[in-house]
Amino acid sequence: MAFHDDLRRVRAIAWKDLTTERRSKAGFNSVVALGVTILVLFGFALGPDAQALRDAAAGALWLAVLFAGVLAFNRSYQVELESGALDQLLQYPGPRWVIYVGKLIANSLFVGLMLVIVVAVGIALFQVRIPSAWPALIAVFALGAVGLVVLGTFYAAMASRSRAREVLLPLLLFPMLVPVLLAAISASKALLGGDLMHEAGAWVKLLAAYDLIFMVATLWAFEYVIEV
Amino acid sequence: MVIEQSELAIQAQGVARRFGARWVLRGVTLAVEPGEIVGLLGANGSGKTTLLRIFGTLLKPSAGAARIYGHDVVRETDAVRAELAFLAHTPGHYDDLTARENLRFAAEMLGQPAGTNLDAALERVGLGHVINERVRGFSAGMQRRLGLARLLLRHARVLFLDEPYANLDAAGIALMNQVISEAGQAGGAALIVLHELAPAAGMLDRTITIENGRVSATGPAPVPRVRIVPPARAAAQAGGRR
């Protein structure tokens, strides 16, 4: 019965975050706009050479998603801080992981939707040819997004307890994301190039392992970062 | 009569708290019995809200111990959270949700059944006409009333109220007093941070004054609490006297 109540709490938090985001719209629009702007800037920096654009596409896409994601993670706790709602949230009975998982679900949907738009724009902008192994490419994007959201949601909670939260989040998050980004960019680049060396599989396994490790570690540690 | 520790509704023993190098609380010791309604007085920055946040499990004390019905606020947070309702100075609502959605969220987080009558709570606090309106458009007084509706959902034995009368009109003050009074009559305890005693006249059993992070004075309320005896108990008492 207690676990059923906890699942209701998870659903309530995810619903609350998604509903407030859907109604305010400002957050999603600005996150997508930032992602697309970064892609355009990369496009300008790389110049008109189509092959150079294609070669850099994987890295540019993931960095655009990363920077836009940071904005999204900061926002997900900003809603709690605006009118002291975090204090109320922490006073409800039940384990703290329900808050983390609820926000994780909401952030996953939010970042997932942003990822779809940014990738679609990136494919058009960088003249990327869709590879025959496109289902594997989708799996790489999904696994990379999970790693990003797991760590982003966790470190945003930690940063939310600080006054310098906007500065603190990227400082905490970026170093921890290096293995996820490395694996995601390498796997994406291999698949976009036809995976001639059959290296994508190893990167995907590494990415899945990182996701699993970070998921377990952050679920365990969340209570200690959200309580003061 | 000697009160056992576990019988006390609220208890602090040498509670201290510092922020950086600054000690905000320097060893507060106090006790509130079940059924008691106590006003917490003191100048700005004296540590009243910090003390309430420690009782409310939102801050850990740097030293000392605080208990709610015998449960330690640091080690037994779940048991403490199940006993208390906290009305903070900030409203704590989600602006882009409606009044009903805010209450439904609170009810789900409290583990209450899906059929809980939320509209009745909103009607009681005078927000029946704005049930489906977003909180963003509410005045400060309406947000306070919504906070009161959320407080009513908890059916708590201990109330911590931080300046509960702020932004309320005369009807709102009367409503707040009614809720506090009902909690007291039901055997619950309340600790209320106040800057003015006037709105709580006739509500308090006693007051505790905090100065520079310490209890500087404690005594009976200037206007003693009017205890309303429930009709059934009054009839029984009258019958017993005959």
- pLDDT, tens only, B181-206: 999 888 899 999 998 888 998 899 99
Residue B9 in this model has a pLDDT that exceeds 60: yes
pLDDT in tens, B152-186: 999 899 999 999 999 999 999 999 999 999 998 88
The tally of domains found in chain A comes to 1
- What range does the domain containing A134 cover? 2-226
Comparing alpha-carbon positions, the chain A residue that sits nearest to B110 is: A92
pLDDT in tens, B23-33: 999 999 999 99
> Tokens 């995601």 sit at which residue?
A184
Q: Do A228 and B59 touch (CB under 8 A)?
A: yes
CA A215 to chain centre: 13
Residue B2 in this model has a pLDDT that exceeds 50: no
Closest in B57, B101, B111 to A91, CB measured: B57
pLDDT class of B242 with cuts at 50, 70, 90: very low
- pLDDT attached to residue B201: 85
Instruction: Give the torsion through C-alpha atoms of B95, B97, B99, B105, to 10 deg.
Output: -110
- pLDDT attached to residue A163: 83
What value, to the nearest 5°, has the Cα angle with vertex B120 and ends B180 and B125?
A: 45
* Closest to B28 measured CA to CA, from B8, B44, B52, B6: B52
pLDDT class of B1 with cuts at 50, 70, 90: very low
Taking the Cβ of residue B74 and every Cβ of chain A, the question of whether any pair is shorter than 8 Å is answered with no
- State how far the Cα of A209 lies from the Cα of B55, in Å rounded to an integer: 42
Provide ipTM, 2 decimals: 0.89
Measured over the CA atoms of residue B157, residue B158, residue B162 and residue B168, the dihedral's sign is positive
Q: How far is A74 from chain B (nearest CA, A)?
A: 16
- State how far the Cα of B92 lies from the Cα of B223, in Å rounded to an integer: 32
Q: Which residues on B lie below 8 Å from A228 (Cβ)?
A: 58-60
Query: Which residues 152-211 on chain B approach chain A with CB closer than 8 angstroms?
Result: none
Q: Which residues on A lie below 8 Å from B94 (Cβ)?
A: 16, 20, 79, 83, 85
| AA letter at B163 | E
| AA letter at B1 | M
Comparing alpha-carbon positions, the chain A residue that sits nearest to B76 is: A93
Q: Are B55 and B68 within 8 A, CB to CB? A: yes
Q: Do B56 and A91 touch (CB under 8 A)?
A: yes
Residue B220 in this model has a pLDDT that exceeds 90: no
- pLDDT attached to residue B214: 94
Q: Do A83 and B93 touch (CB under 8 A)?
A: yes
- State how far the Cα of B5 lies from the Cα of A220, in Å rounded to an integer: 34
Q: Are B206 and B219 within 8 A, CB to CB? A: yes
Closest in B81, B109, B134 to A12, CB measured: B109
Give, as one character, the DSSP assignment of residue B164. Answer: T
Q: Are A31 and A68 within 8 A, CB to CB? A: yes
Region B211-220: mean pLDDT is 90
* Tally: H helices and E strands in chain B: 7, 10
Measured between its terminal Cα atoms, the distance across chain B in Å is 29
Q: Do A16 and B88 touch (CB under 8 A)?
A: no
Measured between its terminal Cα atoms, the distance across chain A in Å is 29
* Closest to B130 measured CA to CA, from B158, B99, B94, B97: B99
> Tokens 């949907």 sit at which residue?
A109
Q: Which residues on A lie below 8 Å from B88 (Cβ)?
A: 84, 87-88
Q: Do A9 and B59 touch (CB under 8 A)?
A: no
Q: Do A24 and B96 touch (CB under 8 A)?
A: yes
| B26-41: b (≥16 Cβ within 10 Å) or e | bebebbbbbbbbbbbb
pLDDT in tens, B108-134: 999 988 877 899 999 999 999 999 999
Closest in A11, A24, A84 to B92, CB measured: A84
**Which CATH architecture describes the domain B5-241?**
3-Layer(aba) Sandwich (3.40)
Q: Do B92 and A93 touch (CB under 8 A)?
A: no
Closest in A84, A92, A227 to B109, CB measured: A92
Give, as one character, the DSSP assignment of residue B23. Answer: E
Q: Do A8 and B108 touch (CB under 8 A)?
A: yes
Q: Do A91 and B134 touch (CB under 8 A)?
A: no
Low-confidence ranges of chain A (pLDDT < 50): none
pLDDT in tens, B51-68: 999 999 999 999 999 999
* Closest to B9 measured CA to CA, from B97, B80, B75: B80
- State how far the Cα of B110 lies from the Cα of B78, in Å rounded to an integer: 12
Taking the Cβ of residue B23 and every Cβ of chain A, the question of whether any pair is shorter than 8 Å is answered with no
Residue B107 in this model has a pLDDT that exceeds 60: yes
pLDDT class of B238 with cuts at 50, 70, 90: low
- pLDDT attached to residue B6: 56
Instruction: Give pTM, 2 decimals.
Output: 0.89
Q: Could you give phi then psi for residue B51, rounded to 5 degrees?
A: -65, -45
Q: Do A94 and B109 touch (CB under 8 A)?
A: yes
- State how far the Cα of A61 lies from the Cα of A115, in Å rounded to an integer: 9
- State how far the Cα of A47 lies from the Cα of A53, in Å rounded to an integer: 8
- pLDDT attached to residue B239: 53
The residues, ordered by sequence, that sit 6+ positions from B167 with a Cβ below 8 Å of its Cβ are: B139, B140, B141, B143, B144
| Interface with B, mutate which of A5, A88, A228 (most B CBs under 10 A) | A88
* Closest to B109 measured CA to CA, from A193, A2, A13: A13
- State how far the Cα of B162 lies from the Cα of A87, in Å rounded to an integer: 13
Q: Which residues on A lie below 8 Å from B154 (Cβ)?
A: none
A 10 A CB-CB count for A1 gives: 6
- pLDDT attached to residue B36: 94
| Interface with A, mutate which of B18, B57, B109, B160 (most A CBs under 10 A) | B109
